[in-house]
Chains A and B, each alone.
Chain A
Amino acid sequence: MNAENFNGYDIYALGDSAITIEFGKNINPETNDLVISRFNQFQETPIKGVIDLIPSYHSLTLCYDLNVVAKQKSGLHSLIDQVKSRLEEPIKLHAHSSQLHEVPVVYGGKNGSDLLRVSQEKGIDLQEIIRLHAEPTYRVYMLGFIPGFAYLGELHAKLTMPRKSTPQPMIPGSIGIAGLQTGIYPSFSPGGWNIIGHTDYPLLENGMPILQAGDRVKFIPLNQL
């Protein structure tokens, strides 16, 4: 199925048992607010047959129980109609309480081993990289990849780096940068981001993530290099 446009949103199928609503074409706080608000709406008043919701930067995916889908008169298409009528209901934008997390960071050293390379490749001295990275208050745009991995944006354009060509082992608390994003690895995992620092800030509690989409993060540098 190709995407169909509704109210300025694109709706498309993600395989035979999920549909995605794309609210915009770019990464920005307004589109992400819309995603989080619609996510809250679908979570508070669930649609029958929906078994999971996956919010991202600019889209929201609804995963269906295919048994329920197939029982509808015209399958997934009937469900898309249901979703459309929900999207016509007004919503309060971003009612979510946006928590501020102050995350202490040790930049560079053993657990921030890519800082030096980033500095060399970008031609920016270490102090300035730390200043540029710690300056903004970031938004948690989404959780994904592995449990509790928070995608934070936007990174200062001067710090954009490509992902590494081969993923490397990460330790919990590793702070990485890639493209216009920065993020924190909550657990041991392979990863391709450039690691510039490390934090002991708690990221998981009984396996559940502490950071939530819509929250804000401020990095507090602990060391001067």
Chain B
Amino acid sequence: MSLIIHKVGILDTIQHFGVKGLQSKGIRPGGVMDQFSASIANALVGNKLNEDLLEIHFPACEIIFTKSCLISIVGAHFSAKLNEKYLPLNRPILVPTNGKLQFVAPKSGRIVYLAIQGGLVGQGRLIKNSEIAFKKKPKLNSSSLHIFPWSADVHWQKYSPEIHVIQGREWERLNEESQRQFCCKPFKLSHHADRMGYRLQHQPFHTRTKEEIISSAVNFGTIQLLPNGQTIVLMADHQTTGGYPRIAHVISADLPKLAQKSPGDEVIFHLTDQETAEKEWVAQQKHIRQIQNISQLKLNEFFQKNSNQL
């Protein structure tokens, strides 16, 4: 009663939404890179928003479902196929027993989430050639694929290059020219980009002082200035503390958008303030909760009507 990993992907994990309360021991929170897409994926199958789910990069794993279950695919467009039929993003999908899921071609974005109704066992681990157990045994039974007729509005995922940041503790260390360059000039994401951090490509930034700073806390979204004048944005698997100047921080609401950028993609940083950061976050969370509520209603209605067949 499980998912069988028929073929292993390069960087696929069963993800949670971050471990809390252990950073004082040097233990990073980790968790999903794109919390927006992951939450929507959970909402679509009627899970709690922070249920464990699969985080998939390209080349992706191939999965065989040994039991019919309700899934959703949200985030990057990797041309998902079930038994040779293309699947849409952002919809609940009922997969038949022994359905085989593949992701055949990356079209846009970097990370896709696969949520399974009821959740999965084994959070935080890299997916190897093995089986993944369902947390709850799926009650559904279907011998055919069923794609539900509604979809979630994911307009927050739009792949515009604009990323909003607020100034960091060491912002003033950048000289005026570098401050000007940092705001509003487009930078490309380098190939050094993984779950720990995304490096950017630009002319080296210059500082007013070379004074060392004492190591202290960093955060998901912290932009550090490296000794060679380059910058790195710390992502979900960042270390807990660091000793490089923190010139800015990506606002929480824009982290999902940044997470979906691939090497070569452009980003343009815009300075904003705490108030805007909070407003954007609240709006995004409200949107997710609306999708959750509507999904729940529609799923209930659907399963009541079709209880005989499923």
Contacts and interface: CB of A to CB of B under 8 A. Distances in A.
B281 A147 contact: no
A13 B281 contact: no
Contacts of A26: 214
Contacts of A14: 168-169, 217-219, 222, 246, 249
A13 B168 CA distance: 8
A66 B25 CA distance: 22
Contact of A61 (B22, B212, B216, B274): B216
A208 B27 CA distance: 9
A207 B273 CA distance: 38
A56 B214 contact: yes
Interface in B207-263: 212, 214-222, 239-241, 246, 249-252
Given A15-B249, A16-B274, A75-B275, A54 B241 contact: yes
B169 A144 contact: no
Q: Which of A22, A70, A149, A213 has the most CB of B within 10 A?
A: A70
Contacts of B281: 16, 66-67, 70
A3 B169 contact: yes
Contact of B214 (A12, A58, A143): A58
Interface centre among B28, B167, B214, B252 (most CB of A within 10 A): B214
A53 interface: yes
A146 interface: yes
Contact of B219 (A3, A15, A143, A151): A15
A56 B25 contact: no
Contacts of B274: 1, 13, 16, 75-77
Interface in B161-190: 166-169
Contacts of B221: 15
Contacts of B241: 54, 56, 142, 144-145
B130 to A, nearest CB: 21
A81 to B, nearest CB: 14
Interface string B78-103: 00000000000000000000000000
B149 interface: no
Interface residues of B, number: 41
Interface string A61-102: 101001101100001110000000000000000000000000
Contacts of A18: 217, 219
B20 interface: yes
A73 B172 CA distance: 29
Interface string B275-291: 10111011001000000
B29 interface: yes
A70 B218 CA distance: 21
B217 A147 contact: no
A207 B124 CA distance: 14
Interface string B50-75: 00000000000000000000000000
Contact of B222 (A15, A27, A59, A208): A15
A33 B218 CA distance: 21
A107 interface: no
B151 interface: no
Nearest to B272: A16
A199 interface: no
Contacts of A207: 27
Interface of A: 1-3, 12-18, 20, 22, 26-27, 39, 51-59, 61, 63, 66-67, 69-70, 75-77, 142-149, 151, 179, 207-209, 213
7 contacts: A2-B167, A15-B222, A16-B166, A26-B214, A39-B24, A70-B279, A209-B25
